[in-house]
A and B are shown apart, each in its own frame.
Chain A
Amino acid sequence: MAIVRDIMPAFELFQPANIPDALSLLDRYGSEAWVLAGGLDSFDWLKDRIKRPKVVVDLSQVSELRGIRDWNGGLEIGSMTTLTEVVRDPRVQAKFSILSTGAEAAASPQIRNQGTIGGNVSQDTRCWYYRGGWKCYRAGGNICFADTPTAINREHAIMGADRCVAVNPSDTAPALIVLDAQMVIRNSHGERTVNAEDYFIGPDIDITHMNVLKPGDLLTAIRIPATWAGAQFYFEKVRDRQVWDFPLLNVASAKFVSGGNVDRIRIAVNAASARPLRLTEVEDFMRGKQPTPQMGDTAGKIAVGPADPLRFNGYKIPMMRNLVKRAISGVEEAKWA
């Protein structure tokens, strides 16, 4: 069969108006159904004719999935809330500015106007072999093309790889992990919540999926507890181009400092591994210590301890080390005359 790209195949389209209808459609069509949120990740797969769902369930008409609400002193963000809405929301800015910063670092204005927070955290990896339709582990095959002697893998994983070396590309994911967010998942049997940290899975757990969603599941909301409201936040993303590009690496941290010492801290990085990584060892190390550049440096070294680079991504080790340092002690900005 010859390959052709750039033409979306025909599918049956459903636009349910509420969550129960959406869930019933997902139940009815099972693995033949594709959930469409903002569509920015989906349309790539569909236009490339690599993923061929028979049924697309478009969530755009489910108004209850959209919006930001107060919740237990924190916030509940509907999964279909756009990244732009997250960026501009005054409550997010006031309490959890790290999430606005992370969301604003994603993609481009038009993508943020349509792309959703649920889609951003649930999107698939951008490994160019996998996205190019190569039959790799993640696509159900038995090889990782990005980890061969001729593979070009500058954007791939430096840690946590297990056969597959793809990375998670989300810019909001590490911010949500730092904020200890809870992912609200519904299916026709009920609702469950999963910690953001546990929402993402690596190839060791499931090599064909990047999160815990199963057919029939819908991510309906993300709840952010008050726990980290008002903390000192740090977010930084390094990318090649300042628009569109996914992170080479990003880092997010939240900390409370009392008496000059770190009281509580959470820190996470993404694009280093198939799942956004919470750096608990670094958190443990920093607790009770001063967030100085020296401590940050040591923490950075701890963070990259497990790194095992590929041929072209060794640079991610100093980059991650330095980003972790900055997430702890900030950036020493230039003072030009």
Chain B
Amino acid sequence: MPDTPKHPPFKLIGKNYTTPDLVAKVTGKAKYAEDYRADGMLFAKLLLSPIPHARVRKIDASAALAMPGVKAILTADDMPKPADALTDLGARIPANPLGERGLTNEPVYQGEPILAVCAVDELTCAEAIEKIRIDFERLPHAIDPLETLRPGTPNARVEGNVWIRPPVPKGQQAPPPQVKELKWAEADFAEIEHGRLPMGKLHPDGVDVAPQSDEWSFGDVDEGLKKADLVLDETFTTPNTSHQTLETRTAMAYWQNGKVYVHCSTQSTQPTAPAIARWLGLVDDKGQPDVSRVVIISEYTGGGFGSKITSAISAIIPAILSKKTGAPVMMRVSREEEHFIGRARPSIQGRLKVGFTKEGKITAVDMFVILDNGPYDPQGDANNSGRMLSLMYQPPAMRWRGVTVLTNTPPRLSQSQPGGFQGIALMEPVMSKASRKLGIDQVALHRMNAPEGKAPIGAAPPGGKRAYVTSAYIKEALDRGSEMFEWERRKAMPKRSGTKARGIGVATSCFVGGSVGFDGLFIIKPDGRITVQSGIGNLGTESVTDSHRVVAEVLDIPWEKVEVVWGNTSKNLPNSAPSGGSQTTHAMTRAAWATAHDAKKKLQEIAAKDFGGNPEDYEVARERVFRKGGGSGMTLAQAAKRAIELGGVYDGHEVPAGISPYTKASVQALAGQGLLAVAKDTMPRDGVTHSYVAGFAEVEVDLETGKYRIVDYMAVADVGTIIHPRSLGGQILGRSTLGIGHAIGQKWVYDSHYGIALAKRFHYNKPPTILDVPAKMTWDALDIPDPETPVGARGIGEPPVGAGCCAILNALSDALGDDIFRRAPVNPDTILASLEAGRPMQEQFTAHI
């Protein structure tokens, strides 16, 4: 194995510490959105559509409005026009005319909010809602994505049943996606009888689509499959799973002096302000969101997992009601409401044809997926499932095809490892089966097909070359994991004893691990302390403070002298990465690094001004800037005072070019308080940043009940330099357990005839409990720095999910053999029925069972 890079010894990075938010959390003082109170605060509650697809003909709210205590009613007619959205990575997508508006006159799923009632308390709201009469015109509904592709079946929206991306006219922005009707031939569905996913056309005839939007490829797939010694043709289905953050998307809002103050639950602090502005229609004359009119307060958020990247559109409902009523409005979102508006990971039904040589090398992958998108904006999961598969298993040839189908089920949104999870979950059962068919060890099979170094990912853009990653050390993770897990010992153990079967499984998983280009901002105060302005959200990953450890590391100042300001956009924060897609640790350690070096440069310049010589003659350490090798110098406190005297760039009165307008405004507000460090991350990066996890599991199955127990789980992460071991370990095992939930129980259940959700809330959706996982699990991380980022750290939030789920699935297959299950989750019913019948007994193609 080639030598792997090493990071220099650090004083703070890689060490455990107590995060500054923890005492407030353990004493109950930490305030989440629903914990705020305001004088005269009113309450709001939603009226949800009882039917999956309808048109509101008439609303009669007269009896409700006549009730004492009822203050206002908000309907879709009061909502601002559809607004532009921000992606996971902060890119703007132009407003989709078929996008969500928060309230609707054409509900497209059961549970979609139709109106909100505002009253003096929630009980009054509820009683008022019960007095409202709505005249609905029922429209046909579609719950099952495969079913709606059959000829003559209903569409989820009046406009059709699939999303397509139209071609981008030359030199223009991409137009919004469009909904079209796509129906396959009845003959296409004959495949179902053979347990294989039908593969009809990707878009309606005569419709132009953007290149690579529903099909891409690289290499010669046909040739690859032809020369393979083993070709597997497997169909698998991943579940729809609600994010089910423990804190719902509650929000409280009020207006003051033309500004709206929104106390909301959000993954990202600073990036939420433009999102709320846009949803509220608060735009400046250039059409940009007017963030000067929005203040976001979110010091603590009770989980997001991708469902609250920039809070939620529902947060504007109390804001608009507050404007209407002239009082603060709290909209406590109940668990029932959260089930419908709280977002979910979309299911993918996928079919993979994979060729292997007899030695186990993958020769080609032909992938076809159907994404159950729900009724609103098209999700990237279908495309991402192919892209991540192409990275994780490095096929020399691959074709990906995907259809994004609309259904009348709650809106989907990115969930930890969006698309990547589904891609891994479709492929791992193939790896598991190939391992048995070829007689090759699971770890060896994964290892020989794993990426290494600057491995390629995805298809080349038209006329371009394939992209590649910054680094990949997953082979090292597999090696370390096999050793720690004692893979060989476990493999040698018997598989059956008494009424139990035992199996072991390994899975590898990957996802985007960071973005670039954000700003950092901090001040060295005249008392020698540092105040870091953090625009990062506090959703529990601790990146809100972990990232800023870099500042103290670079400047060699004790962490105790660093204060982090966070959680309130009126506190002059810099342009920060949205905390989604595991960008933050990578993006914001880079920004912190760049900003710390800006401070260092300013300190050296100040010293040179006062003591002579060149700035490079000075170094910064031990809370001082001093001449290298000893001699004259000053403390950081003294330098801060000098910065104020010098003014200009030193104390923020002069703003450097290149930083974002948002950061610029914050710098101007903070100018004159000390030595102000500000910088945008413009450092080079060769490749796209991804992180990797290898998961190992052992299960024991009770053959008489179908019930199984996870005996052990372990994960090894390749996420670059470790910043904060305890929070990293929490993420690795926490996100693994989210994945395990997808294997052992989480799902939706619908009665397709009525289009009504049967499984709601925690009880029926079944997120894992503490007793569903081993009482002790283990993790490790390679701590090999990524060569394309100065600190070497990448994000971790995503790849454990696929590793967790698929290590369990593969262990089950190891215990039970092929074809016991063809979809996840796998429960006792499936195992027992299939064992009993000697063939797969799971209904494979019916959605939401």
Contacts and interface: CB of A to CB of B under 8 A. Distances in A.
Whether chain A touches chain B in the assembled complex (some CB pair under 8 Å): yes
Interface of A: 1-7, 9-10, 49, 128-129, 132, 145, 148-152, 154, 236, 238, 240-245, 248, 312-316, 318-319, 322-323, 325-326, 331-337
B705 interface: yes
A49 B123 CA distance: 12
Interface of B: 45, 47-48, 50, 122-123, 125-127, 129-134, 334-337, 493-494, 497-500, 502, 700, 704-707, 744-745, 749-754, 756, 758-760, 762-764, 766, 768-772, 827-830, 832-833, 835-836, 841, 843, 848-849
Given A318-B836, A326-B704, A241 B772 contact: yes
Contact of B498 (A10, A314, A334): A334
Contacts of A313: 829
Contact of A248 (B122, B123, B828): B828
B499 A128 contact: no
Judged by DSSP, the binding face of B is mixed
B766 A248 contact: no
Q: Is the interface of A mostly helix, strand, loop or mixed?
A: loop
Of listed A240, A313, A323, residue having the most chain B CB within 10 A? A240
A118 B93 CA distance: 58
A257 B485 CA distance: 45
B771 A243 contact: yes
A322 B500 CA distance: 13
A128 B339 CA distance: 15
A148 B704 contact: no
Nearest to B837: A314
B255 to A, nearest CB: 27
Contact of A2 (B129, B500, B768, B830): B129
Contact of B745 (A132, A241, A248): A241
Contacts of B700: 334
Contact of A336 (B494, B749, B756): B494
Given A1-B133, A2-B132, A10-B123, A332 B498 contact: yes
A7 B759 contact: no
B51 to A, nearest CB: 11
A7 B753 contact: no
Contact of A315 (B50, B130, B493, B833): B833
B314 to A, nearest CB: 15
B336 A331 contact: no
Given A245-B766, A248-B829, A128 B334 contact: no
Contacts of A334: 497-500, 502, 700
25 contacts: A1-B131, A2-B50, A3-B48, A3-B130, A4-B48, A6-B336, A7-B125, A10-B123, A128-B759, A152-B749, A152-B750, A236-B705, A240-B744, A240-B745, A241-B766, A242-B769, A243-B770, A315-B828, A315-B830, A319-B705, A332-B498, A332-B499, A333-B500, A335-B497, A336-B493
B828 A319 contact: yes
A315 B832 contact: yes
B769 A244 contact: yes
A226 to B, nearest CB: 32
A166 to B, nearest CB: 13
Contacts of B836: 315, 318
Q: Which 9 A-B pairs have the closest CB atoms?
A: A242-B771, A334-B500, A322-B704, A6-B334, A7-B126, A334-B497, A150-B753, A243-B769, A315-B829
Contacts of A323: 704-705
A6 B758 contact: no
Contacts of A150: 751-754
Contacts of A238: 705-707, 828
B832 A1 contact: no
B749 to A, nearest CB: 5
B758 A152 contact: yes
A128 B758 contact: yes
Nearest to A326: B704
Contacts of B829: 154, 248, 312-313, 315-316
B264 to A, nearest CB: 20
A244 B130 CA distance: 31
A325 B337 CA distance: 44
Given A1-B131, A5-B336, A332-B499, A49 B126 contact: yes
